[in-house]
């Protein structure tokens, strides 16, 4: 969308006066471009991180040029399935597991040498109604969680799994079928089932609005403390990092927040990074977005216990943002035509390049 279409570029060059009455043309003609030739996964590794990666989703995998770029293991060394490992996709009916979509992404990860982040084991969304509406007793729901997490984690043995979004923004626990039936014990139930299914899997809890100091981050830190005190397995905290252009937290605030987690003996990862803007994208917004990407990557780079960074898809073509936030978009480092934006350079700069 911000890539200058050839026809408009020619029009502008040949008839510059036409642009006087058309601010859109002026804006597009001066749109800043990416110049970095960095390979982000290779760069991240050279700077001591485990990976730089991108989430993906099954319907996108029919676009061959998309897949060719995703496959490039020098650019992306890790992936996360945005939807096909969620509960509604993997256990739509009780005890009936369907893994075709999840396997497609796990296989892509394997064949292109990528780490895979399991996504996810317990979450309040995309939950089939047989889980949310069955009126299970605590004992029944415990067995349901154990079977679901155990089966999922065992299938992708050796990979990360996580529980997602247990908190409200004010730091109280989210009222969902898990919390309402089991209180906070659903968290150790799921973590223990996952650990039992694959002792080698890194176990993460993931949430949003915990990327900067505040009540929700404090609540997550308290949860980590409680889990550690009760010897419940917990390896990391996923900082989702769905940010907004111009109000992305500063590097210093993100570093301070990451250090608060790593001090508790867990690692952290940036698990769903994107930086959305109100459309249309202007040169100023694209420049600010570049700065915002730099802030987050630089924060991870400064904290040894921040192990890696995952984009919530790399191209605006397949971003979740326009479908979720009306009038917003352009959140990814590559545009809808797979052309790098200034944000791409912002990432390389954040790694120190």
Contact yes or no for 27/287 (Cβ under 8 A): no
DSSP SS3 for 38: coil
100: Cβ contacts below 8 Å, ≥ 6 apart: none
Q: Cβ 163 to ligand NAG, closest distance in Å?
A: 7
What does the chain come to in residues?
A: 353
Distances (CA, A) of 160 to 19, 40, 156, 259, 286: 52, 21, 9, 21, 33
Q: Interacting stretch for ligand NAG, rule CB under 6 A, among 34-42, 60-68, 251-259, 298-306?
A: 60-68
Among 64, 96, 129, 230, binds ligand NAG (CB under 6 A): 64
Q: Interacting stretch for ligand NAG, rule CB under 6 A, among 28-36, 118-126, 185-193, 212-220?
A: 118-126
* CB of 239 or CB of 286, closer to ligand NAG: 239
Query: Per CB under 6 A, does 337 bind ligand NAG?
Result: yes
Distances (CA, A) of 220 to 26, 239, 245: 47, 11, 25
Q: Interacting stretch for ligand NAG, rule CB under 6 A, among 61-69, 87-95, 225-233, 257-265?
A: 61-69
* CB of 54 or CB of 206, closer to ligand NAG: 206
Give me the catalytic one of 91, 165, 211, 267: 165
* CB of 160 or CB of 217, closer to ligand NAG: 160
Q: Interacting stretch for ligand NAG, rule CB under 6 A, among 93-101, 274-282, 323-331, 332-340?
A: 332-340
272 is catalytic: yes
d(CA 76, CA 56): 11
Query: Per CB under 6 A, does 296 bind ligand NAG?
Result: no
DSSP SS3 for 26: helix
Query: Per CB under 6 A, does 120 bind ligand NAG?
Result: yes
Please give the full DSSP string across 226-260, using - where no structure is assigned.
Answer: HHHHTT----EEEE--EEETT-PPPHHHHHHHHHH
In this structure, what token pair is assigned to residue 199?
Answer: 């002792």
Give me the catalytic one of 91, 211, 267, 272: 272
Among 28, 39, 41, 119, binds ligand NAG (CB under 6 A): 119
* Number of Cα atoms under 13 Å in the Cβ half of residue 311: 26
Bridge partners of 80, per DSSP, are 55, 117
Q: Cβ 239 to ligand NAG, closest distance in Å?
A: 9
Size of the site for ligand NAG (CB under 6 A): 23
d(CA 282, CA 20): 17
Query: Per CB under 6 A, does 272 bind ligand NAG?
Result: yes
Query: Per CB under 6 A, does 211 bind ligand NAG?
Result: no
In this structure, what token pair is assigned to residue 62?
Answer: 């029919």
Q: Cβ 208 to ligand NAG, closest distance in Å?
A: 8
Q: Interacting stretch for ligand NAG, rule CB under 6 A, among 23-31, 32-40, 156-164, 275-283?
A: 156-164
* CB of 64 or CB of 230, closer to ligand NAG: 64
d(CA 146, CA 51): 30
The closest alpha carbon to 211, from 243, 234, 241, 235, belongs to 241
Q: Which uninterrupted H or E stretch holds 342?
A: helix 342-350
165 is catalytic: yes
Interacting residues toward ligand NAG by CB under 6 A: 63-66, 80, 117, 119-120, 123, 160, 162, 164, 204, 206, 238, 240, 269, 271-272, 317, 336-338
Residues serving a catalytic function are 165, 272
């Amino acid at each position: 969308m911000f890539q200058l279409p050839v026809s408009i570029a020619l029009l502008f060059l040949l008839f510059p006066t036409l642009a006087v009455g058309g601010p859109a043309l002026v804006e597009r003609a001066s749109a800043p471009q990416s110049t970095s030739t960095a390979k982000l996964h290779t760069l991240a590794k050279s700077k001591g991180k485990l990976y730089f990666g991108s989430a993906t989703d099954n319907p996108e995998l029919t676009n061959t040029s998309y897949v060719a770029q995703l496959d490039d293991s020098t650019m992306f060394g890790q992936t996360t399935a945005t939807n096909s490992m969620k509960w509604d996709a993997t256990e739509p009916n009780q005890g009936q597991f369907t893994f075709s979509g999840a396997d497609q992404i796990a296989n892509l990860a394997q064949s292109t040498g990528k780490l895979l982040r399991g996504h996810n084991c317990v979450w309040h969304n995309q939950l089939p109604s047989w889980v949310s509406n069955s009126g299970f007793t605590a004992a029944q729901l415990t067995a349901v969680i154990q079977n679901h997490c155990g089966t999922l984690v065992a299938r992708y043995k050796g990979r990360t799994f996580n529980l997602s979004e247990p908190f409200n923004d004010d730091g109280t626990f989210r009222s969902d079928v898990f919390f309402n039936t089991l209180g906070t014990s659903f968290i150790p139930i799921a973590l223990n089932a996952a650990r039992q299914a694959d002792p080698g899997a890194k176990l993460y809890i993931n949430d949003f609005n915990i990327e900067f100091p505040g009540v929700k981050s404090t609540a997550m830190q308290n949860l980590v403390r409680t889990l550690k005190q009760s010897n419940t397995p917990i390896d990391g905290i996923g900082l989702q990092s769905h940010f907004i252009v111009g109000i992305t937290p500063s590097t210093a605030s993100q570093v301070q927040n990451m250090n608060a987690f790593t001090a508790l003996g867990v690692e952290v990862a940036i698990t769903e990074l994107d930086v959305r803007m109100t459309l249309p994208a202007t040169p100023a917004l694209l420049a600010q977005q570049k700065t915002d990407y730099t802030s987050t990557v630089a924060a991870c780079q400064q904290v040894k216990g921040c192990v890696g960074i995952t984009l919530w898809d790399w191209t605006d073509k397949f971003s979740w943002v326009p479908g979720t936030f009306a009038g917003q978009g352009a959140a990814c480092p590559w545009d809808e035509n797979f052309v790098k934006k200034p944000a791409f350079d912002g990432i390389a700069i954040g790694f120190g390049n």
